[in-house]
Structure 1
Amino acid sequence: MDFIAHRVDCVLEATGMDAVDALRTFYVLAAATTLSVSIPGSLRSRFLVYGPRATSTGFGSPSQPSVTSGLLDYLATWRVPHSYFAQFYIASVLSSAFWALQLFSRGSVFQAIASRLSLEHQQQSMSLNQTLVCWILLAMQGARRLWESLTFSKPSSSQMWFVHWLLGIGFYLATGVAIWIEGSGTLLTEDLTLEHVQMTNAPKLRTFLCVPLFLIASGLQHDCHHYLFSLKKYTVPDHPMFRGVVCPHYGAECVIYLSLALVAAPPGQIVNKTLLACFVFVAVNLGLTARTTRQWYTEKFGKDAVQGWWLMIPGIY
């Protein structure tokens, strides 16, 4: 652990940022990179499209091969099985367990990260109850998605670009830190004990409203995933959640992370800015995937099949 703590300390010192700024920068840069890759059709079709959608011909390739297109084609062959998606949630669950041990024991890795926070970030700190509630919610999300990825899996030859896989692993490991990092000021001065699990105090209005929102979105997403798994083959879904919306399960995912950002808002702030940056990354990444999915539906089943469909939630095209 001391070696890990030392490496964390060296990385933060090299970047000249504390962990809060580093996490926000990671989310924003990751979202910007994904967005920039999605703009040129030559990059989008090679690197962002995966699974059955990878057979889409809508984006196409240059008719005249060139050195650049040849290099892009070569890089696009660096792929991993689509089943590696389960590793995202394994990373999430293991990260939640690791940070639970670190936070309760004030471990060396926690100390290496939290002690390097700026005074401003330490002073604007979440309460211990907020930190614990958010950790529990994220652990529930990771455990549910891991269970779904194992239970609702089918044999498939689909693949995804290896950078997509690395970015996903990085996202879930980063979010394991983001869920508590803005509570570091309190965690450094007060001990987190099992007594905080009892939740004897009445929840604040924000928590009272946003935790049910998180749970409802989780339930709807689970229902969508179960329905998609039940389909014998890819077709236009007729489930109520999918009527007029291409990817309601992606919309539910956005609501899940937005509710976490609201629950985790430090005193005097509307939202937790680190988790808000996390939400931005999720919204950008899933929004682009939803657009690709809609185009795939259009090419496979005709324009009328998805004419006017919203992307992830009603009102978002």
Structure 2
Amino acid sequence: MYRLYGIDNALDAAGMDAVDLLRAFFLLAAASSLSVSIPSSLRSRFLIYGPRATSTGSGSRPPAGNTSGLLDYLATWQVPHVYFTHFYIASVLSSAFWGFQLFFRGAVFQAVASRVSEEHRLQSMSLTQVMICWLLLAMQGSRRLWESFAFAKPSTSKMWFMHWLLGLGFYLAAGVAIWIEGSGTILTRSVTIDHIKITNAPTMRTFFCVPLFLIASGMQHDCHHFLFSLKKYTLPDHPIFRGIVCPHYGAECVIYLSLAVLAAPPGQVVNKTMLSCLAFVAVNLGLTAQTTKQWYMQKFDKEAVQNRWLMIPYVY
């Protein structure tokens, strides 16, 4: 193993391994989003994007010591909203790359797996779990990439550049998180096509979680198709939108929840790394759903929107 002194020394000093590092990334990223959402001065400048965004200034450099002017200036560091497509390109490429690495136990896989502690290696997913979870995540990224082109509309909307960087980081990290708690098994047994044969008898987890994943994916696709079919950005009148502001966000959470349960190592209820991944998804989509609800209430019928759930039932 080639020692990467900067990374290895930092992990050693913190008493962490690669699994802990991934979990910390997801949780710290989620906490950062929450911290930005609390002060209104930050939320209005950095959290809101798309048609819900308001003007944040002209983009000129503020006078020294002017905090508000500095925030306005930082808020002008934006990228086109169409850059969302980059997230799914990164997801698909990450899945393809790690699929190759896992199948052949490549050098990059070896470098990551060698930095997983013995404790995490001993509680390892089975190869069948790894391959099914990897395949489902690849399907999710591929579908979202196809939708980003098929349902694309001309738009001048923009988002803060940190949203873009954080999104790229999330999808690249998710590509590792989906298999890293199975690294102990992969190091000792070769991955073959036999591990994903449909003739294999499914476990109860597979029997429950795979259909849940597919149902949530189908619902999310239907929601995206419906939103694309709207002639203009208006209050959705589809039956599922009448009770939930952002059902497609709820479906995204269910997708990652099904993966977290499906990827649970032996003796565990859930894969903690993927659960951390879900926490990031739930926090960021929950904040966006809340902003969307507030915007709907201001722009459309307040009475028709105020009692709608955000993403899932009983979450207002």
Shorter-chain TM-score tier: over 0.9
CA displacement at 1:278 relative to structure 2: 0.3
CA displacement at 1:56 relative to structure 2: 8.7
* In structure 1, C-alpha distance between the alignment counterparts of 2:195 and 2:301, rounded to whole Å: 55
Query: Does the 8 Å CA contact 2:44/2:54 hold for their aligned counterparts?
Result: no
Paired amino acid for 1:307: Q
**SS of the residue aligned with 1:55?**
coil
Query: Does the 8 Å CA contact 1:49/1:292 hold for their aligned counterparts?
Result: yes
CA displacement at 1:8 relative to structure 2: 6.4
Map of 2:207 onto structure 1: 208
Query: Does the 8 Å CA contact 1:9/1:112 hold for their aligned counterparts?
Result: no
1:275-311 alpha-carbon deviations (Å, 9 max, x no partner): 0000011000000000000000011013113021100
1:235-254 alpha-carbon deviations (Å, 9 max, x no partner): 11111110111000000000
Q: How does 1:94-173 map to 2 (within 5 A)?
A: 94-173=93-172
**SS of the residue aligned with 1:261?**
helix
1:15 aligns with 2:11: yes
Map of 1:60 onto structure 2: none
**SS of the residue aligned with 1:163?**
helix
Query: Does the 8 Å CA contact 1:56/1:296 hold for their aligned counterparts?
Result: no
Paired amino acid for 1:14: A
1:252 aligns with 2:248: no
1:93 aligns with 2:92: yes
Paired amino acid for 1:239: H
Map of 2:218 onto structure 1: 219
Q: Which runs of 5 or more structure 2 residues have no equivalent in the other structure?
A: 57-64
TM-score by length of 1: 0.93
Instruction: Please report the RMSD computed on the Cα atoms of aligned residues, expressed in angstroms.
Output: 1.7
Paired amino acid for 2:302: K
Q: Measured at CA, do residues 183 and 245 of structure 1 come closer, stay the same or move farther in structure 2, by a change above 3 Å? A: same
Q: Measured at CA, do residues 98 and 145 of structure 1 come closer, stay the same or move farther in structure 2, by a change above 3 Å? A: same
Q: Which runs of 5 or more structure 1 residues have no equivalent in the other structure?
A: 58-65
Q: Measured at CA, do residues 206 and 162 of structure 1 come closer, stay the same or move farther in structure 2, by a change above 3 Å? A: same
Q: Measured at CA, do residues 170 and 8 of structure 1 come closer, stay the same or move farther in structure 2, by a change above 3 Å? A: farther
Paired amino acid for 1:266: P
Query: Does the 8 Å CA contact 1:236/1:305 hold for their aligned counterparts?
Result: no
Query: Does the 8 Å CA contact 1:12/1:19 hold for their aligned counterparts?
Result: no
Query: Does the 8 Å CA contact 1:129/1:199 hold for their aligned counterparts?
Result: no
**SS of the residue aligned with 1:80?**
strand
1:41 aligns with 2:40: yes
How many residues are paired up?
Answer: 306
Map of 2:83 onto structure 1: 84
1:278 aligns with 2:274: no
User: Mean Cα displacement is larger for which, 106-115 or 196-205?
Assistant: 196-205
